[in-house]
Structure 1
Amino acid sequence: MPACPRHAAWATTLLGALTLPVGAQAQGQPIMVPSTDPGVPSVAQTGPQADAIRESLRRIKLPPGFRIELYAVVPGARHLAPSPGDGVLFVGTRQATVWAVTAREGQRMADQVRPFAPSLRFRLPNGVCRTRDGGLVVVELNRVLRFPAADRFLERSDTTAIPVVAQGGLVPEDEESPNHGARTCRVSPGGRLYITLGQPYNVQPRGKVALYERLGIGGIIAMNAMDGSAREVVAVGVRNSVGLDLHPTDGTLWFTDNQTDRMGDDTPPGELNRVTRSGGEHFGYPFVHGKDVQIAGTAVAPDLKGLAPPAQWTRPQVEFPAHQAQLGMSFYTGTMFPPPYRGGIFVAAHGSWNRSQPSGALINFVPIQPDGSAGPSRVFAHGWLDESGSYRGRPVDVAPLKDGSLLISDDLAGALYRVSYSAKDSTP
Structure 2
Amino acid sequence: MRKLWAAVLAGAIALAACTNSDHSEQPPEQATGQPGSPEESPPTRTPVQVPTGLNAAPFDQPRYLDVPAGWTVAVYARIDKARFLALTPSGDLLVSQPSTGKIHIVRAGKVTEFVSGLRQPHDMVFAQLGGKMYLFVAESHRVQRYPYTDGDLKAQPGQVVVDGLPDSSTPELRGSYAHQLKNIAVHGDRLYLSIASTCNACVSDTVSDPRRAAIYTYAAAGTNAERKLLATGIRNAEGLAFRPGTDELWAVVNNRDNTLVPDDRDVDGDGQSDKGKRMAQFVDDYPIEPFIKVRDGGFYGWPFCNPDGKGGFDRDYELNRDGQRADCAKADPIALGLPPHSAPLGLTFYRDGAVVPLHGSWNSTKPAGYKVQFIPFGNGTPGAATDLVTGFVGPDGRWWGRPVDAAADRDGSLLVSDDGSGTVYRLTPSK
TM-score normalized by structure 1? 0.75
Task: Give the AA of the match of 2:105.
Answer: V
**Maintained 8 Å contact 2:418/2:424:** yes
Paired-residue identity, %: 30
The residue aligned with 1:319 is 337
The residue aligned with 1:64 is 69
What is the alpha-carbon distance in structure 1 between the residues aligned to residue 374 and residue 417 of structure 2? 16
Higher-strand-fraction structure: 2
Q: CA deviation at 1:193?
A: 1.4
The residue aligned with 2:256 is 260
Q: Please say if 1:92 is aligned against 2:96.
A: yes
Q: CA deviation at 1:72?
A: 0.8
Q: Please say if 1:283 is aligned against 2:281.
A: no
Counterpart of 1:272 in 2: which secondary structure?
strand
Q: CA deviation at 1:373?
A: 1.2
The residue aligned with 2:160 is 163
Q: CA deviation at 1:48?
A: 6.2
Q: Please say if 1:101 is aligned against 2:105.
A: yes
Task: Give the AA of the match of 2:112.
Answer: R
What is the alpha-carbon distance in structure 2 between the residues aligned to residue 253 and residue 61 of structure 1? 30
User: Residues 294 and 94 (structure 1 numbering): CA distance in 2 closer, same or farther, change over 3 Å?
Assistant: farther
**Maintained 8 Å contact 1:134/1:151:** no
**Maintained 8 Å contact 1:384/1:393:** yes
Q: CA deviation at 1:227?
A: 1.8
What do residues 201-259 of structure 1 show as CA deviations (whole Å, max 9, x unaligned)? 10023x442x25x7342021111222242221222111111111100011200001112
Task: Give the AA of the match of 2:179.
Answer: H
What is the alpha-carbon distance in structure 2 between the residues aligned to residue 296 and residue 389 of structure 1? 31
Task: Give the AA of the match of 1:185.
Answer: I
Equivalent residue for 1:373, pick from 356, 372, 381: 381
The residue aligned with 1:192 is 190
What is the alpha-carbon distance in structure 1 between the residues aligned to residue 348 and residue 52 of structure 2? 31
The residue aligned with 1:30 is none
Task: Give the AA of the match of 1:224.
Answer: A
Equivalent residue for 2:348, pick from 324, 330, 333: 330
Q: Which runs of 5+ in 2 are unaligned?
A: 1-49, 260-282
Counterpart of 2:80 in 1: which secondary structure?
coil
What is the alpha-carbon distance in structure 1 between the residues aligned to residue 176 and residue 219 of structure 2? 25
TM-score normalized by structure 2? 0.75
Over the aligned positions, Cα root-mean-square deviation in angstroms equals 2.5
Q: CA deviation at 1:173?
A: 5.0
Task: Give the AA of the match of 2:336.
Answer: V
Task: Give the AA of the match of 2:393.
Answer: L
Task: Give the AA of the match of 2:113.
Answer: P
The residue aligned with 1:144 is 143
How many residue pairs align between the two structures?
Answer: 349
What is the alpha-carbon distance in structure 1 between the residues aligned to residue 145 and residue 218 of structure 2? 13
Higher-helix-fraction structure: 1
What do residues 45-68 of structure 1 show as CA deviations (whole Å, max 9, x unaligned)? 976653545567732001112111
The residue aligned with 2:289 is 270
Q: CA deviation at 1:295?
A: 5.1
What is the alpha-carbon distance in structure 1 between the residues aligned to residue 192 and residue 373 of structure 2? 23
Q: CA deviation at 1:170?
A: 5.6
What do residues 365-404 of structure 1 show as CA deviations (whole Å, max 9, x unaligned)? 111111x111111111100011111111000111111221
The residue aligned with 1:408 is 416
Equivalent residue for 1:231, pick from 196, 204, 227: 227
The residue aligned with 2:214 is 219
**Maintained 8 Å contact 1:282/1:310:** no
Equivalent residue for 1:364, pick from 351, 373, 382: 373
The residue aligned with 2:44 is none
What is the alpha-carbon distance in structure 1 between the residues aligned to residue 322 and residue 133 of structure 2? 45
Q: CA deviation at 1:152?
A: 4.5
The residue aligned with 1:115 is 113
**Maintained 8 Å contact 2:371/2:403:** yes
What is the alpha-carbon distance in structure 2 between the residues aligned to residue 151 and residue 289 of structure 1? 46
**Maintained 8 Å contact 1:329/1:397:** yes
Counterpart of 2:340 in 1: which secondary structure?
coil
What is the alpha-carbon distance in structure 2 between the residues aligned to residue 281 and residue 98 of structure 1? 34
What is the alpha-carbon distance in structure 1 between the residues aligned to residue 300 and residue 107 of structure 2? 40
What is the alpha-carbon distance in structure 2 between the residues aligned to residue 413 and residue 49 of structure 1? 12
The residue aligned with 1:350 is 359
User: Residues 302 and 368 (structure 1 numbering): CA distance in 2 closer, same or farther, change over 3 Å?
Assistant: closer
What is the alpha-carbon distance in structure 2 between the residues aligned to residue 414 and residue 399 of structure 1? 16
**Maintained 8 Å contact 1:53/1:70:** no
Q: Which runs of 5+ in 1 are unaligned?
A: 1-44, 105-109, 333-341, 424-428
What is the alpha-carbon distance in structure 1 between the residues aligned to residue 214 and residue 149 of structure 2? 28
**Maintained 8 Å contact 2:140/2:165:** no
Counterpart of 2:355 in 1: which secondary structure?
strand
**Maintained 8 Å contact 2:194/2:214:** yes
Counterpart of 1:174 in 2: which secondary structure?
helix
The residue aligned with 1:386 is 394
What is the alpha-carbon distance in structure 2 between the residues aligned to residue 422 and residue 381 of structure 1? 14
Counterpart of 1:289 in 2: which secondary structure?
strand
Task: Give the AA of the match of 2:156.
Answer: T
Moved more, 132-141 or 346-355: 132-141
**Maintained 8 Å contact 2:315/2:328:** no
**Maintained 8 Å contact 1:184/1:243:** yes
